[in-house]
Structure 1
């Protein structure tokens, strides 16, 4: 359990994958009482991508099938918001239509309510957002909102660092070096890799030696591990 923002910062600094960072963030916000969470990308008041989400069963399917992003007051409000806001604020700032009121009632019935959203502005009309919300009929603690904001901003900062580290980590590897690394992951020897790629065993050794040096590791096993962690090769 994450006890403080300081703990979250310290722990997240040692995490090297986006998935592990997401899991840490979800654990942290759940310890604050929020069981629902979503990281979404919006453009022109529409949701264009959802990297991850955690909702009650059936909610996400209903949201997409009903085109709820077109009427969601939060999605509409996030474009002009420059600070984190409670969903109630977005509703108060909007003259809700009958369809929007029904949407909010449906959300509550499905266990998604009393949320807060942190806008993360990008270029033009692009706005990333992280929303967390309650599943049970209990009120959020307003004295903990600063903690939630701190956790979310640290999540986004560390995610940007991981993406940048991943980009730099693999950008100097040649296609042949990546190919050799992939076959290393499959447990192939240098001779077997050479046979597969129609190159000499010495050439394989050369490529793997370069890969180990560029990734800043000590051997082929740790090169494979780092390659998976940074997304250069897949599991």
Structure 2
């Protein structure tokens, strides 16, 4: 990377650092990638096979994608047929969509996804796989009618994609943490649950009945949008509400 390109990349990273929402991160990244022909950006955690449509959509972190295509894509379950998604799951190397053609030449479903995407100005794309700190698989794609990427541009984009995705996930989790407000007693009950205590033992520690513990846990689950104790504990830890 030339000194000029390095300085320009650092300036983009500084701009990403000043972003206060995922939308601002997306706008900053899009502005810096327009020089390569990028018109659209999409990034998120790759959902597990069989994930519901709602879960697929909630996995998106950065979204500047044609709305009509997104609706069609998730309505038809294309995430499980998309050659790019399959490649992100098994490889950590960035790739151009054109490099995927041998993978879907004999795959009618995969070919349909790629051909239909081009109808929505997503004719050429570049995808960067990213591993999150939690060990999840994520990916960031830029796309447009025509991309022009030199070999040395791939490394720069991989760096910016990783930083942008990490910054956006942090901003989203911070916003969620500020939105979810557990009472001190709900937080305490959830903390004891995280340590494996039964409701009877939690009641003993908190000086309340099992019914009182159940009331606090049920309220915490509702605020966290979870149905089970285990899921509530996991979400509480993810949001930094408990340790």
Answer yes or no: same fold by TM over 0.5.
yes
Q: Whole-Å Cα distance in 1 between the matches of residues 11 and 37 of structure 2?
A: 18
Matched residue of 1:39: which SS? strand
Q: How many residues align?
A: 170
Q: Check whether the contact 1:45–1:79 (CA below 8 A) recurs between aligned residues.
A: no
Residue 6 (structure 1) aligned with residue 10 (structure 2): yes
Q: Whole-Å Cα distance in 2 between the matches of residues 174 and 100 of structure 1?
A: 45
Q: 1:5 to 1:64 in 2, by over 3 A?
A: same
Q: Whole-Å Cα distance in 2 between the matches of residues 117 and 97 of structure 1?
A: 20
Q: What are the superposed Cα offsets for residues 183-211 of structure 1, whole Å, 9 maximum, x if unpaired? A: xxxxxxxxxxxxxxxxxxxxxxxxxxxxx
Q: Find the partner of 1:151 among 143, 156, 160.
A: 160
Q: What are the superposed Cα offsets for residues 147-180 of structure 1, whole Å, 9 maximum, x if unpaired? A: 3222212213433554677799x6xx9959xxxx
Question: Any gaps of 5 or more consecutive residues in structure 1?
Answer: 177-235
Q: Find the partner of 1:38 among 42, 46, 52.
A: 42
Q: What are the superposed Cα offsets for residues 92-137 of structure 1, whole Å, 9 maximum, x if unpaired? A: 345541232222211112211221111122456x311111111x2x
Q: Check whether the contact 2:37–2:147 (CA below 8 A) recurs between aligned residues.
A: no
Residue 53 of structure 1: CA displacement? 1.8
TM-score, scaled to structure 1: 0.59
4+ long deviations beyond 6 Å: 164-168
Please, what is the CA RMSD of the aligned residues? 3.3
- Higher helix fraction: Structure 1 or Structure 2? 2
Q: Whole-Å Cα distance in 1 between the matches of residues 22 and 116 of structure 2?
A: 32
Q: 1:46 to 1:24 in 2, by over 3 A?
A: farther
Please say which structure displays the higher CA radius of gyration. Answer: 1
Q: 1:89 to 1:160 in 2, by over 3 A?
A: same
Residue 79 of structure 1: CA displacement? 0.8
Q: 1:65 to 1:82 in 2, by over 3 A?
A: same
Question: Any gaps of 5 or more consecutive residues in structure 2?
Answer: 185-243
TM-score, scaled to structure 2: 0.58
Q: Check whether the contact 1:121–1:127 (CA below 8 A) recurs between aligned residues.
A: yes
Q: 1:6 to 1:101 in 2, by over 3 A?
A: same
Residue 82 of structure 1: CA displacement? 1.3
